[in-house]
């Protein structure tokens, strides 16, 4: 579990990946739609998506010619359970987490 937690927290350390997770809270998205709001290449977004996939935070599947991404909340739950072991953290409320991400994204310089 420690190795997977390292992977999860490393994936969450990047603001672009946190923004992607926030976007996927709404609904599944095609890779091209995920990439649209960012001013980086599609190849760079694909690398971010691969890191999130390896961490188990998202899943990617091909539907026809389009590759889709969807949120996988179980990995976040594992991190939440680990943090609860310290007794200082409440279980992760995904709605509160989404609000947190939105606040973080709003305060990020463009």
Domains of the chain, residue spans: 2-106
Cα 104 from Cα 86, distance rounded (Å):
24
Determine phi and psi for 23, rounding to 5 degrees. -65, -40
3-state secondary structure at position 81: helix
Q: Token pair for residue 72?
A: 């996988």
Domain 2-106, architecture per CATH: Orthogonal Bundle (1.10)
pTM for this predicted structure? 0.74
Q: Token pair for residue 103?
A: 């606040």
pLDDT tens sequence across 39-66: 999 999 999 999 999 999 999 999 999 9
């Amino acid at each position: 579990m420690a190795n997977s937690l390292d992977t999860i927290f490393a994936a969450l350390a990047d603001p672009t990946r946190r923004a992607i997770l926030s976007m996927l809270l709404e609904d599944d998205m095609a890779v091209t739609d995920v990439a649209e709001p960012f001013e980086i290449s599609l190849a760079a977004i694909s690398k971010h998506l691969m890191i999130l996939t390896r961490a188990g935070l998202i899943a990617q599947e091909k539907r026809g010619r389009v590759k889709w991404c969807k949120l996988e909340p179980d990995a976040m739950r594992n991190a939440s359970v680990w943090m609860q072991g310290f007794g200082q953290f409440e279980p992760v409320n995904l709605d509160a987490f989404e609000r947190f991400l939105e606040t973080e994204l709003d305060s990020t310089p463009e």
